[in-house]
Amino acid sequence: MLQSIKVDLLTYLRDKLSNGFIMLESEMQHQQTKKIAYTNKEKYEALVEKNPLLKTLQEKLGLDPEF
């Protein structure tokens, strides 16, 4: 997106600031999207991933994570 307006923006800045030496650099950063747990099973699996001892506790107590 910035590439499409880069020339116009640079021209505008140089004109308004009366500075022909202004340069414009752009940097693109990518962000990972985080998967959101919706079902009870997904929530349980996310918790077990954070704390593996939760699975051991579930097995010892004989609990069903599917409820």
* Domain residue spans of the chain: 2-25+34-61
Q: How far apart are CA 24 and CA 12, in angstroms?
A: 12
Residues contacting 41, CB < 8 A, separation 6+: 65, 66
Regarding pTM above 0.85, the answer is no
Structure token pair of residue 50 = 């954070």
pLDDT tens, position by position, 19-51: 999 998 888 888 888 888 888 888 888 899 999
Q: How far apart are CA 12 and CA 47, in angstroms?
A: 52
The model's confidence at residue 63, banded by pLDDT at 50, 70 and 90, is: confident
